[in-house]
Amino acid sequence: MEFFERFAVPHPSPAIYASMVAIGLTVIAILAGLTYFKKWGYLWREWLTTVDHKRIGIMYLLCALIMLFRGGVDAIMLRAQLAVPDNKLLDSQHYNEVFTTHGVVMIMFMAMPFIIGFMNYIVPLQIGARDVAFPRLNAVSFWLFFMGAMLFNISFVIGGSPDAGWTSYFPLASNDFSTSVGTNYYMLSLQISGLGTLMTGINMITTIMKMRAPGMTLMKMPMFTWSTLVANLIIITVFPVLTVALAMGTMDRLFGTNFFTTTNGGMDMMWANLFWVWGHPEVYILILPAFGLYSEIISTFSSRNLYGYKSMVASMVIISALSCLVWAHHFFTMGQGALANSFFSITTMAIAVPTGVKIFNWLFTMWKGKIRFTVPMLYSVGFIPLFTIGGVTGVMLAMSAADYQYHNTMFLVAHFHNTIIPGVVFAMLAGLTYYWPKMFGFMLNERIGKWTFWLLSIGFVVAFFPMYISGLDGQARRMYTYSEAAGFSTLNMISFIGAGIMAVAFALIVYNVYYSVRYAPRNISADPWDARTLEWATHTPVPEYNFAIEPQIKTSEPLWDAKKRKHVLFPGKLDKIHMPNNSGVPFILASIFFVWGFSFVFAIWPLVIISTIGIFACLAHRSFEKDHGRYISLEEVTETEEKLGGAK
């Protein structure tokens, strides 16, 4: 009986019971399907043990899409709860759990894997490499992320979800106020997935700095690769801060330390500082690769080279530096002095300048270009005015005196979504549509894609713009209900309708994938968009080794110049190719990390010790393993190249 009490959800509801049933049925269906179609061996050989950067990138993107819908369900529940006054759909505790998990899922388990998935798939192709610098470490990074995400997502059916907000401020996140194990889930799952992200940062920087094709200097790299480099420099700078903060928070909750308590020498504001030292640069970890994607797409569909290449690079570097100097604007209202508020107000407003440079560069790229309004281009063009509005409201929030009025209202919620949805979600959908043919060998349906764009854009405006008004009228964020007399009901109902329109748009994404899998033609070229960068110079589907012959780079747009100026991209000859071996150790190691995290959540100390030994055993196995990879023979390379269209 004690076993069931330990893992019971402290605040059950019909929705949670339904989720338990749905999860159980889904797991049974997956296991039955794999067994019936005899796919266990295929799953293990091709996916669970892969170290191929392309497959790992696709798995990141698949997880991100699943988490997009998982977080989207939370968002619909939140908007439904606030659609009418005095609503009883969710009680206060359930509402706190839903908006906490919504924030964590969308930032850490949707947006992050989306951008890291694109980094994994695109960067080695853009720089002419055959894989990332550390393929085995890349697999470890993905599986740690995946297990961290799964650990977090079982919380609402085993033990209870975190309920202290996605920022998990202390003392609210302490044992005194968050009495369930939900916040333990928060601390451990983010620790595990964040460790994988930190490894990715090291891997990507090494790949870009050491594995570029001959002739590709830093100032000839594609803009997405530049954005990846800068974003990963931020990752290795700030993710250790999150790691330390989560470790301290875990010790406060499990071992009775006093890092963030309000007594015995603890400092609850230290959590806020450490969290936002990571948290605000995190926004730019997400947004800079999105800017890189927009740069590639706008240049391709304007049929022009990117305007102001050097200023685009410089603006990203400046943004990355300033991003680490703005964290305290998140607590202008927490009693800082005028000097500190003034400093962070100025740095916050200053970051708008290099961002504005990028927007003008995109506009100048389109100026007099031959614009093709494909689905990726629609997202890119739609992003500019919507993101600009979000940026302008950010400058309003940057004024510390005015922030006292805006900060704890729905105005801030509207601002945040006004930057993240056009800035990240639009970019991810644009990039997914743009690179889909390279990944899967067929294109997503343009007509359904355009319907999706317009519904998503209209739904976004209808959902979030009313929040600016209700926030200025005084509607506080984080409140689970309000009275009829408050006068917020009309604006909140409009927001709920907008959220419903967005839900229809996301359902259309699923339908588009289904429709395109069934009916899209497979006889597309390797370069269906008439693109400009190196990833489109290889075959579709991309062979395991990416490029049979190492490319020679002369400009920042090698494929375009090969097509238009007859540059020779592949001057060498075919030879055998060295590639890494697959390995099941990363999956096994991450699975043990899952057990380790779960054991810590519930303080099951014998299992903690056993899983810790297992982790070190996996590390020791790798340390003594003699694996020098393998060679793809010249005959196999030649056969593959002939099958895919001949050596380039």
**264 by DSSP, 3-state: which?**
coil
Mean pLDDT to the nearest integer, 240-258: 95
| Cα–Cα dist 309/361, whole Å | 9
Helix residue ranges, H only, 338-423: 338-350, 352-366, 375-398, 400-406, 410-420
Tokens of 107: 């930032």
Q: Per residue in 66-86, pLDDT tens? A: 999 999 999 999 999 999 999
Per-residue pLDDT band for 116 (boundaries 50, 70, 90) equals: very high
Q: What pLDDT shows up at residue 647?
A: 41
The whole-angstrom separation of Cα 130 and Cα 211 is 9
Mean pLDDT along residues 623-629: 90
Structure confidence at residue 262 as a pLDDT band (50, 70, 90): confident
**Closest by CA position to 540, among listed 550, 529, 525:** 525
* pLDDT for position 137: 96
pLDDT recorded at residue 1: 40
For residue 151, report the phi and psi dihedrals to the nearest 5 degrees.
Answer: -60, -45
pLDDT digits (tens, 9 = 90+) for 571-606: 888 999 999 999 999 999 999 999 999 999 999 999
Strand partners, 409: 476
DSSP for residue 131:
S
- The better pLDDT of the pair 342, 2 is held by 342
The answer to whether 178 and 163 have CB atoms below 8 angstroms apart is: yes
Centre a 10 Å sphere on the Cβ of residue 154 and count the other Cβ atoms it contains.
Answer: 17
Mean pLDDT of 425-448: 95
The mean pLDDT of 50-78, rounded to a whole number, is 95
Which pLDDT score, from 0 to 100, does residue 564 have? 86
User: pLDDT band at residue 376, thresholds of 50, 70 and 90?
Assistant: very high
Residue 369 pLDDT class (50, 70, 90 cuts): confident
Least confident of 1-10, 245-254, 613-622: 1-10
* Banded model confidence at residue 4, pLDDT cuts 50, 70, 90: low
| Buried b or exposed e, range 578-590, using 16+ CB within 10 angstroms | ebbebbebbbbbb
The region that residue 369 occupies, defined by phi over 0 for left and psi between -120 and 50 for alpha, beta otherwise, is beta
Cβ pair 417, 75 in contact under 8 A: no
Q: What mean pLDDT is reported for the chain? A: 93
Q: Which residues contact 3 (CB under 8 A, 6 or more apart)?
A: none
Does residue 3 carry a pLDDT above 70? no
In the chain, % of residues over pLDDT 70 = 99
Distance of CA 458 to the CA centre of its chain: 23
Give the pLDDT score at 195. 96
- Domain spanning 50-528, CATH architecture: Up-down Bundle (1.20)
Per-residue pLDDT of 472-519, as tens digits, reads 999 999 899 999 999 899 999 999 999 999 999 999 999 999 999 999
Per-residue pLDDT tens over the stretch 200-235: 999 999 999 999 999 999 999 999 999 999 999 999
3/93: higher pLDDT: 93
Give the pLDDT confidence score for residue 374 in this predicted structure. 96
Task: Burial-class residue 466 by CB neighbours within 10 Å (0-12, 13-18, 19+).
Answer: buried
State the pLDDT confidence band at 311, using cuts at 50, 70 and 90. Answer: very high
The pTM is what?
0.96
Which residues in the chain are classed under CATH 1.20.210.10?
50-528
Contact 620, 614 (CB under 8 A): no
- φ, ψ dihedrals at 149, nearest 5°: -65, -45
- Is a pLDDT exceeding 80 seen at residue 646? no
Closest CA to 414 of 365, 455, 467: 467
Supply the pLDDT for residue 522. 87
Number of Cβ within 10 Å of residue 264's Cβ equals 8
